[in-house]
Each structure stands twice: as structure tokens, then as C-alpha cells.
Chains A and B, each alone.
Chain A
Amino acid sequence: MESFSDAELISQFRVPESKEKAFRMILTRYQEKLYWQIRRLVLVHDDADDVLQNTMIKIWRGLDGFRESSGLYTWMYRIASNEAITFLKSRQKERSLMADDPDDYIKGRVKSDPYYDGDELFEKLQAAIRNLPPKQQQVFKMKYFDDLTYEEMAEVLSTSVGALKASYHHAVKKIQTAFEVND
């Protein structure tokens, strides 16, 4: 099977005859990475599926105008992050209406997801992450779960590598403290 570079796929996308084929190849190449990135933010499979499809539709609409100043995956990652955050904000309103303790709501929703198989340790970690400031949450998840390098994160978040290292370091310390306190 022919293998094209990202740049070649983008060029093919810009030609009407090969647009759909090129897009499907881009989807196939990055769908899992993007899915897991989103899933770790929104936690529930159905929600991740919605957010991922919305992300891909935005990529379809925006790829013609993509300036290639960053890598293709970095650009898509940014779109996916924004979509997930928008989704979470909308859910936040719902949570505050539906539960006295938003944390209980999240736990309930996650636990009822048939595609979740976490244990108490993982839930404790998630609770500790939720107590972090939003920016630290994002940095921690990108580094710890998505295995992005600091350079890749700097490109996505438009922040310096040094600031990201400091942010991650603080996040880890707070989570460790939360675990030590609760033990």
C-alpha cells in the first residue's frame, strides 16, 4: 500500500478529485492518536466519539487553509483539544445543575460507561487531576497520558518549554501530595 507523507496528503486533499481519498488516509493515520487524546480528557467513550467526529469535520473544513507552519498532527491536536475543552465546559454547566457534587456526577457517568475498566487507584488519580488548575491539568495529561514531548506541547499551547516543565513539575507534586495525604 502506497505511503504518502503528510505534505503529500495535504496537496492531494487540495485537488478535488483526490480530496476524499487523501482525507480518509489522514483519518486512518491519526484517528487513534486523536481519539485517545480526547478520551483521556472527556473520559466517556460516547462523548469522545462525538468530540472526535466534530474535530474531524473541522479538520475537513480547515485543511485547505492550513498554512503548514506547524506539523499536521500538532495542528489537529490543537483542534481536538479545543473541541474537548468546549465540550467539557458545556458539560460543567450540566453537572452543576444535575448534582450537588460535580465529582459524584463525573464518577457516576464514567463508571456507567461500558468501555471503562478503571479501578480505585485510577479514580483516585483522576480526582487528584481534577483538583489541579485547568492549565496544569492539560499539561499533565498531555505529558503523562499522551506522551508528548515538551517541544510538541510548546507548539500546541504556544508556551515556552521552560514554563511547561515547571507546570508539569508542580502538577506531579500536587498529585503525589494528594495521594500521600489520603493514604
Chain B
Amino acid sequence: MLRNLSIGRRLALFFVLGAGVVVAVVSYFTFVQARDLLRAQQRDIIRQALKATSASIEATEAAVEKVVQGNALLVEDLRLKPEESGAMLKRTLQRNLELVGAAVAYNPEIPAYGHVAPYAYRDGDAVLLKDLGKDDRAYEIGDWYQLPYQMGKAQWTEPYYDEGGADMLTATYAEPVYLDGDPASVSAVVTGDVSLTRLSRFLQSLDLGDTGYAFLISRNGTFIAHPDPAFIMNESIFSVAAAREDPGLRSTGREMTSGRSGFVTFDGLSGLEPSGPSYMAYTPIESTGWSLGIVYADSEVNAAVIELNRLSWAIDLVGLAALLVIALLVARTITRPIDALDLAAQTLAHGELDAPLPQAKGRDEVARLTASFGRMRDDLKERVEELRVTTAQRERIESELRIAANIQMSLVPRTFPPYPQRHDLEVFALLEPAREVGGDFYDFFLMDEDHLALAIADVSGKGMPAALMMAVGRSFLRSYSRLGGGPSQILDSLNDELSTDNDTSMFVTMFLAVVDLRTGHVRYASAGHNRPFVVRRDGAVEQLPRTRGIALGARAGMMFAEAELTLAQGEALFLYTDGVSEAMNAADEVFTEERIAGELTRIASASCGHLLREMNEALSAHAAGVEQSDDITMVAFRYMGGGSQDADAGRGGEV
């Protein structure tokens, strides 16, 4: 995947990824730090808000308590009668706007006053008075009466809906009054009512952020103030804990209702269901025994931190984008010369070695690469030039060789049988030139009606000089043969001729035989050539004895020895060059003369053509694919005897 991207893009990608990781890590730790800081800060803010709010509530409750305590003192000290109490209560309400109602409930068990409870309350702006004990209504069964009465001290009641006053959530502060200061006999309970609706509104008006809210629970844990109206008076912190099966919330509730302050993390209280990680600070309202809580969601802290970090993240992103651009630009300065080099290399690959290479600036890796590339290109050019020269040379040599081979092949008789009208002889010859012409040749011709000359020769050296030498040698051989004389005299003359001005020091080995076709008598001489074989009628194979004589062209004035033998009818001569006896196989083993003799013995009675082909096959089998290094030349002659049948056709063998 990544490998498919260009180096430049990959470089830029790695740069930006690496920088991105660093930026992300830094951002994360900054975020955590800021969040913790903000949490701590938020905690302080909430605590301050809590303190201020509870102080404000306390102040209101304390004012109510003061008023009720004042009334209680009056009732107790002045032994106010119910009518007097009523007047006092009306004045109290008129003067103290925080009170929504006030009563003096006389103890019905004390006969002096009877079952009576004057109660002042508001109806709009008016302050009205009524008797709570009217029509035998049992005011004394209410908590506001029973609690101070039974406990012998002032009490804030649990909040309740005052059915008289339009379902107003009310709490009452009630203080017992004693007859003659006797703590055992309560003469009346003096009360003041405060509306919690106003308190609830006050709590909701607090600025506590988007998710923050304040709530108030009673001594029993019941919600008195809460942003969800359905909670008020219905749910308690304990019922919510039970609904959620959250023992943690229940113990928090117990802490709150037992008058402690604290700070907890919990699942929020905005509904019956958990509302996410939240914090709550709580503190008691000492006078009433209530507890004030302020809740805020952790998500808000996070949101604030995110808000704070937004700019820095934006800067990070811009920075990363800039880095990407810079990285791409830097990468381009690196890859552009490489791309140029790549383009040049492609041109080069098409063979345009002279195409210009990009200019390498500086001394960086790319410059060095370009320089190396240039050197490589120059070397290549040189090599190509060399190759061109050698190829031309080789082509010239090869064409020379071809010409030489053509000369060689055109100089030897190649029509078989050469004398179709004659039945007294059979001649067959074979010349397989090596790739580089070796300069072998053979020749046979009738010197007259009854005499056949047979020659085989091997020119030292190869190629054109050898071919020319061979052509010269053959011409001289024919010329001197016409002058008459035996084979030794012909070789003498030939030697003298070839030795004259032999600057090139080329030599020719040659075997020359002259056969008298009437008798089968053979005279022969050898100029250092391989000794031919005779195949006798009985199948015996003999090698001709050695005769004196070295290669032609070595030294003038040499005298060649002559020898003779007689061939019976059907007997044959086998002439060959060292290309046969020294043919090599892969193991560098030569064919050997013994092997030639063996092959001749095996195929003694075959016709001359067949004999040479068989020998050639044996040679091929021996070489087994190894390239022939020298010309292979063989001549077979069989003396048939019985005289010439067609004397006129005698010279027809030459081509």
C-alpha cells in the first residue's frame, strides 16, 4: 500500500503523522491538565455558590425564627388571649413579608383558652385572620403542633402543601409556649409559615452553568426544591437511590440528612434515571435541618475544556497542514532530480546514449547518484563503441573466412563419381571445413589415360592466408604434374616454388600418389603428411611406411623420397589429414590412427563413398557435439582393375 506512494508523499505522510502524534499527545496532556484545573476551579465555584446560597436561606429562616420567637415571648410573658394573639399575628404578617402565615394554637387541654387557634394569612395583599379550630377542626393533630408540643422545643416542620393557601408548598417554624414557665405544661404553639415556592424560584435563578442546578432536601430526604417539579414532595433522595438501586446515593443522602457537608461524584439527580457523571457539593441548612445540594455535570467541565482548547487545536491543525505543505515541497526538491534522472534513464534505455543528463547541483546523495549515473553512461558508451568495432572486425573476419571457405571448396573436385565411364577405379573424397578454414585440400586428376594422381594436403595456419596458400599449392601441383616425373620430383619442384619468398612461413604437408591404372602399381611421396592406409583384399589394413620428406615451403632444395606399392584388384587407399586422426571429443581425447585402422577393418568391403560416410559418422559419434577445430578431409581410392572401358571420359572429373 505505502510502497505505491511516491517517496515525496510518503515522506510528507510520515512527517505529518509523526508530528500529529506528538501534537496529539501534547494536546491530550494539556487537555487533562486543563480539565483537572477546571474541575478544581469548578469545585471552588460550586462551594462558593453553595455557601452563599445556604447563607441566604439561613438568613431568611433566621428572620422567620426571630419573628416567631418574638411572638412566642409576647404570648408567654403577656399571656395573650386568643383575640390579642390574633391582632398581634395580623401585625406580624403586615410587617414581615417573608411570612405567609402565622398562628398561635392554644393547647385545647388547658380550659382557660379552649380549642382555639387564631391564624393570620395573606389573601393577595390583604392579611386575613381565621380560627384553625373552628367547627372542631383538630389543629392539634398536625405536625406543626405535635412536634414542638411533644418535643418541648421549637421545630421546623417537614414541608407540606398548605391546602388553605392554593397548594402552596409551606414549611412552618413552630415554638412551644409554657404556662408560667413550666416546661411540663405547654400553653400554646406559636408558628410562622414560610413559602418554599419562593425559595425554589430563588434556587432555580442561580447561575450554575448549562447543566448545573441546585436542589434542597428536607430532613427526611424529600425534595423541597428541584428543577424537575415532579420530584418536589414526591421523591426523596432515598427513593431515587432505591429506584436506581444505588447504595452510594443512599449513603450520600444519609450524609446530607445528618447535617454534613461534602463533595461527591455520582450519577446526577436530574431525573430518576442516572444522568451521567456529575459532581455534587452539599451543605446543611442548620436551622431547618435541610440540606442544599448543587450538582453539575462533568460533561460541562469537559465542554469548557474543549471550548478552551479549540483555538489551540485549530492552530495545531493549521500547523500540521503547513507542515504537510513544507514536507511536500522539501520532498519535491529531493524527488525532482530523481524524477529527471529517471526520465533520462528511460531515454537512455531506448539507446539514446547522448541524451543529456540532468544538471546535478550541490553535493548531496542525488547529485552523487547523478554523477555515478553519468559515469555509468560514459562507460556504457565506450563499451558500445568497442562492441561496435569488434563486431565489425569479426564480421570482416567472418566474411574473409566465408570467402576462404568458398575458395577452398571451389578448388577441390566435388563431383562423384568423377569418371562415370571408367570402371577400373573408384574415387570418393570428403572435405568438411572447420568454422575457421584450416586450409586442407585434396585433389585427384588423370595425368594421362593410365595414370591417376591422388593428393591430399594440409596448409598450416587458417583463414584467408591458408586458403590462398592452398590455392597456390594446388595450382603449382597441377602445373608440375603436367611436366611429367614421379611424385617425388613433383614435390621437389613444389617445395622449391613454395619455399621461395615464403615470408609468411606457411607450410604445407602433402601426400601425393600416382596410380598406374593398368597394373595397380602406385608410386608415392609424402611431405610430412599423415601416412595413409591400404585396405587389402583380404580385409587387412596396413599403414604405408614412412618416407623421407618434411612439409613443403620450409626449405628449398629438399629431396623427397619416393616409395611404391601395388594394389590388387579391389584394394583401396585411404588418405586423410590430421583433422581426422586428431578429432577431439569433450574429454580432449583424439580419434587416433588406430581407431581409423579399426574403422577401416570394420567396413573394408564398402564402396568408397560409403566408407567415407561411415568414417565421418564414426568421427561425429566420437566428437559427440564438440565443435570441429580443424578441417576434416578424407580421400578413398579403390583400384578395380580390368582396364578402362571408356577412355574418352578420362578428364571429366575436374570441376
Judge: A and B partners, yes or no: no
